Amino acid sequence: MTTDPWLTDERQALRELVADFTTREVVPHLAERERVGEVPRQLHQETAEVGLLGAGFPEEVGGSGGDPIDGFVVAEQILLSGGSGGVVAALLTHGIAVPQRGERQRRPHRPLRAAHARRGGIGALAITEPGGDSDVAGITTRARRDGDDYVVDGAELSITSGARADSVTTAVRTGGPGHGGISLLVVEKGRPGFAVGRKLDEMGWLCSDTAELSYVDVRVPVGNLVGAEGSWGRTAPTYATVGFGQIAQQFQAERLSPAVQAYATAQRCVDLTMQWIRDRETFGRPLASRQVVEHRMAEMIGVARTSTRTVAARWVAEGGQLMETAMAKNTAVAACEHVVHECVQLGGMGYMREHEVERHYRDARILGIGGGTTEIMNEIIVELLGL
Ligand SMILES: Cc1cc2nc3c(=O)[nH]c(=O)nc-3n(C[C@H](O)[C@H](O)[C@H](O)COP(=O)(O)OP(=O)(O)OC[C@H]3O[C@@H](n4cnc5c(N)ncnc54)[C@H](O)[C@@H]3O)c2cc1C
């Protein structure tokens, strides 16, 4: 019996379920969904019905049980089975919309989690502001207490699933300046004053909608607060200046998820490309015989996968390890960026829209930006190493 939490019998069965679902329900419609610019709500509902949106969510809140590794396995296998980063982003944003760890944060949002996991509701997480930057301590969207409500004013930029979301977990300033005054508040669609500004046209993730959001005197019940007021800043880690990480330390999944997508994307591109270079002859010899580059690709994918899986397993078992998740993300993103580049180069047809590798090449570009940029991950690493 394996002791690797990623390879248990239950998770192998989960992989088979995801592979079957992706092959039947995702791959045949992917080109059309990219053309339309979003995945239909029906796909969320179907994914929820087979239990995949609830993977990693406790059963008592409507999930299918397990822990966050199950959610990562779903994302990994969607990619390995011919899905895309855009599908993962569009379908699984609920995974970052409500914190995955900590009973204190979980309790007020049981109905919300159940809605996402069981009925295919759509959630989003809004931290990035139009005038803001990677320094989350500067958040200006304000939530002012008024009786049993907060009144929210501000704007958010580049929010994944923002146009379709039933609820948006929004970073708001409830206190004074700096990271200590920041809270998270769940704002539901339909509240007066809460609106989608516009959908943004993107380079990749073409079936995932990304939107600007605006909040004008939006009344939200105090009960929609995630955790205690100001807790997202106060529980910030030992470092105090590295921006996005202050919130992301509560959302390690926000970093581990792109890391998983990165090594899975790289693996998928290599799988697609290897067959091509074995069959292809140039100057009378198989192309494969001329290439040593696949050794480098295999090594990079192996390192990325091992570090991400190890850090994720530790995060689940012991809680957040800020520096390790930052390193895992950067390692996996670097591997992915190298591999997708090489696969387009080797694959001949990899530049063509009809070829799956071309989609992964475009989709991969976001992985070093979303969830905290490569540079900000490096800032975290440098600061925590005391360099
Ligand atoms: C497709 C897409 C989906 C997204 N989805 C979401 C979402 O769902 N929710 C959400 O809240 N946000 C989302 N974002 C926003 C994303 O998280 C931010 O774009 C990202 O964190 C970078 O922030 P910024 O754009 O403000 O860059 P800036 O902070 O303006 O940085 C610009 C550049 O400068 C670098 N830089 C900044 N500070 C430093 C420093 N101290 N040292 C060295 N370099 C530095 C950055 O790394 C970056 O390269 C999304 C973005 C995209 C493109």
CB 210, CB 186: distance < 8 Å: no
In the predicted structure, residue 67 carries a pLDDT above the cut 80: yes
Per-residue pLDDT tens digits for 18-52: 999 999 999 999 999 999 999 999 999 999 999 99
Q: Is 383 a catalytic residue?
A: no
The residues that bridge with 215 in the sheet, in sequence order, are 154, 194
| Cα-to-centroid distance, 196 and ligand 1 (Å) | 20
* pLDDT score recorded for residue 129: 94
Q: Is the CB of 137 under 6 A from ligand 1?
A: no
* pLDDT score recorded for residue 241: 34
Q: Which of 38, 76, 156, 254 is catalytic?
A: 254
**Residue 320: pLDDT band with limits 50, 70, 90:** low
Q: In the numeric block, which tokens belong to residue 12? A: 């192998």
CB 194, CB 150: distance < 8 Å: no
* pLDDT score recorded for residue 128: 92
Helical residues (DSSP H) of 145-292, grouped into ranges: 231-234, 245-248, 252-279
Which residue, judged by its Cα, is nearest atom 14 of ligand 1? 158
* pLDDT score recorded for residue 293: 63
Closest CA to 187 of 172, 176, 198, 209: 172
| Cα-to-centroid distance, 331 and ligand 1 (Å) | 18
What's the whole-number mean pLDDT along residues 187-209? 96
329 Cβ partners below 8 Å, 6+ apart? 255, 256, 258, 259, 262, 308, 371, 372, 374, 377
Per-residue pLDDT tens digits for 114-163: 667 667 889 999 999 998 777 788 899 999 999 999 999 999 999 999 99
* pLDDT score recorded for residue 106: 47
Q: Is the CB of 361 under 6 A from ligand 1?
A: no
Helical residues (DSSP H) of the chain, grouped into ranges: 9-21, 30-36, 41-49, 68-80, 85-92, 94-97, 103-106, 110-119, 231-234, 245-248, 252-279, 293-318, 322-347, 356-364, 374-385
Mind listing the domains of the chain with CATH numbers? Answer: 5-121 (1.10.540.10), 124-228 (2.40.110.10), 246-385 (1.20.140.10)
The residue among 321 and 246 whose pLDDT is bigger is: 321
| Cα-to-centroid distance, 361 and ligand 1 (Å) | 20
